[in-house]
Structure 1
Amino acid sequence: MKVRHLKWVAGGVGLIAAGACHAQSSVTLYGIVDSSIQYVKLDRTVSPTVMAASGNLQASRWGLRGSEDLGGGYRANFQLEMGFNTYTGVAGGSTLWNRGASVGLSSPYGSLDFGYMYLPIYWVFLGSDVATYGLSNPAAIMSLEHTVTLGKSGTGGFYQNAVRYRTPNFHGLTAELGYSFGSQNSSGQVADGRNLGMNVQYANGPLWVGYGVNHYQYYANTTILTPSAQTTQVVSASYNFGPVTLGGNYLYTKRSDPTNFFASAEMLNAKVPIGPGDLNIGAARRIEKGGARALAYDIGYVYFLSKRTQLYGYAAYIQNNSHSTQGFGLLNSAYATVQPGFKPWAFTAGLRTSF
């Protein structure tokens, strides 16, 4: 009887230990499914068109996020995320985890991550977009200031072969340093796509401010081995006044290749809770070398059916001068640029849910 009793005790201890180990680890499946209908005038030579669109409030995606408690304040973390088109079922990129893949360690001294990630400047840009879900695809401000517009380094996008360090939070002050090793291309140019960036952010109650910079190396042509560079800087802020939240930024980018390209942009946007949803308003201006000027405006309403599910509608407009060719590349990649001086517009309505 004693032997049997000891066996039961040993088995119970084993189950408890297994449960404790399991409790120290977690894996979360998450995602967003977003579909809409849009009515757009994308270019001068294209008639206004009604079309289906995926991810017009937020890009549809699913991912896995995991963490293991290693003890002593240390944790191992990973994240894998991919986008997809809800109308076609097609993955959102040429790679499986096209929206990020990383593994890292966090500790009382900060966190260190390795993989395919956003570099630090992205988070400063995102912090200035106070819309219900920042970087809404139909938002004209995003078309003016995001990756496609500002070229090589831009304010977003994912970077391969990247390493990122984030400091602990010191009374609201945080900093981040990121480096992407780039890769050798087919012409033997070893620094293609190499990035170095950092940010500093400060949050105190309703106030948030941030600064970010990114230095990107590339080659102007395939016959040289000395890389050119594009440096982008952004200063951002937001403030929650209670009923209204305001956000804004200023950014400047310049390339060192023979084109001497440069551009600057400013953005201001607001979120106003009205009824069972949020009113989002934004405006932006961009100035480029060669006299190109563009103004952009958008207004939208996000209606909460529940905490996870929303209906939304947006209207957006871009005003190009005679030298500017900015289009709605985020709504249709074939029209990232338009005929000089054309003023594209878009209306979109859709449904978003998350899990």
Structure 2
Amino acid sequence: MKKILSFSLFDTGETILGAMVYSVFFPLYITKYVDPKIYSYVYSFTFLLSFLFALQLGKYVDRTGKRKEGFIVFATLTTILCFSLGFLESMPILSLIVFSLMSIAHQQSFVFYNSLLLNFETKGLASGLGVSFGYIGSAIALIFFAKVLSIPNVYFITGLIFFLFALPSFFFLENPSLKHNVSLKEVFKDKKFILTIVSILSLTEVANTLIAMMSIYLKNVFALEDSQIYKVIGLSAVGGIVGGIFWGKVLDKFSSDKVFPLGFFLWAGFLIVLPVVHGDLILVAGFVAGFSLAHLWTVSRVYIISKFPQEEVSTRMSFLSLTERLASTTGLFIWGTLLFITQDNYRLSAMLMSVFPILGFFIFLYSKRFST
């Protein structure tokens, strides 16, 4: 249990860092000095750099077996760069450069952190509890910390929290010792794997769009007050906490091959039903949204570890990381396009988004024709 708790605590610190620095304070700060479009381009470019770095670093640690060392190095580097932002408030361009480097380091640490799941007998519970703790962390950060912190202190305090929550993983998690000389060419030629990643992308597009647009959807469709929107989002967080533990337990009882495809039905069903939801049922919809998100984050990383060569885990986790980042861009672009086509019909646009998990399911079925 000590190892599972250690694994989960890093998820908590990582989510607090994301909520406080990536989602709130740094974007609000930097867009005072830099055009938001420029900031978006720079941030998107860091995703590409992060993926390219992750491929090469993943290949290196898979060859040497130094996955835990990679995790420790990049988690520590993330902390140092977060602290550094606290001294650069008067230098926005340099702050943007340091922030970009921190984003890259943070993403590498998360890739190697996911690789450490290899050593757990109950991978589902470890993954699910991590997701649940992550939801708790983000709720604590936004409810308690965001109101009282300001720049530069937010960088010092958040960086310290991130590091302290990473320390148990440094000490108590074991390094998966599997070694393999990975050929990136062979990974890209692995049709089953690439199609699986595309199918996961069909879900992360919907999930990230939901996260980004939920409050706007609730205000436009249901004319909810801010306090009512907070209730729905709060129940979504409860759904995530419950869902992480539930899906983790289910994963350990059944194979990931049986549990993973359920996500396509969860998301398709949710998006088809959402436009016809009325009244207090929107609270139930909020819970189901969080429950579905928990399935995606809990199951996808365990599925990749279980169904593909474990000695190549860090390299292949790089692709999973890419889907999470790429989906933030593609999902919002698709959502904006649907709103334009439907002339701002939010209900119809939400229903049309169900096409993506349905399409993802058929891509997933097609992937099973191939072997790794």
Highest Rg: 1 or 2?
1
- Same fold at TM > 0.5: no
Q: What's the TM-score, normalizing by structure 1?
A: 0.24
Question: In proportion to residue count, which structure has more strand?
Answer: 1
Higher relative contact order by CA 8 Å / sep ≥ 6: 1 or 2? 2
TM-score for the superposition, normalised by structure 2: 0.24
